[in-house]
Amino acid sequence: MRPTGSDPFEVLGLEPRFDLDAEELRRALLEASRRWHPDQWVLASAAEQHAAERRMSEVNEAFARLADPIERAAALLERFGHPLRPDRRPDPDLLAEVFELREEADEAAHEGGERLRRALDRIAAALADAERALADAFARWAAAGHPDADVPDVLRALDRVQYLRRTLAALQETRENPAA
């Protein structure tokens, strides 16, 4: 999902931080939806109705961005002047780690059954660890006042989550659709 330029934290009236609680995010969505849902503007002018529809669209997009940890991380980095560059390169050690996990899972896929399940569980556990490390990196960054020097730590943690998530999703899809 690409940002529209609207700050999703501002749209939903939330403090800009990584460790958003799912319930807090849901409450913010409900509150904004009550305010901007087009049904609330049915007796308003056409211009006001159109503005409410646009605002509701922003609310839905903000919720989707903040509900996903990777998109929430990108939104925070953008907010503090560090937009993600599409040409950035991940750490070679990360690529080697993901390659090894993928290779192990591919070998296990030929056997199927228990070995494949263990390989997928190992990747899922690595992803859970990476998500915790990302939250920790953001907590350290916020506690230090968002210094530029700490951005590389956040980016490394974010890259690890992204690569492990994609790897796990691809392997699960292969497992569910072996002919694909």
pTM of the model: 0.83
Q: What is the pLDDT of residues 131-145, one digit of tens each?
A: 999 999 999 999 999
DSSP result, 9-52: HHHHT----S---HHHHHHHHHHHHHHH-GGGGTTS-HHHHHHH
Buried b (16+ CB within 10 A) or exposed e, 150-170: bbebbbbbbbbbbbbbebbee
Amino acid 9: pLDDT: 97
What is the residue-level pLDDT of the chain in tens, covering all 180 positions? 334 458 999 999 999 999 999 999 999 999 999 888 888 888 888 888 888 889 999 999 999 999 999 999 999 999 999 998 888 888 999 999 999 988 988 888 887 778 888 889 999 999 999 999 999 999 999 999 988 888 999 999 999 999 999 999 988 887 776 655
Q: Which pLDDT value is given to residue 36?
A: 86
Query: Which residue in 165, 143, 152, 138 sits closest to 19, CA to CA?
Result: 138
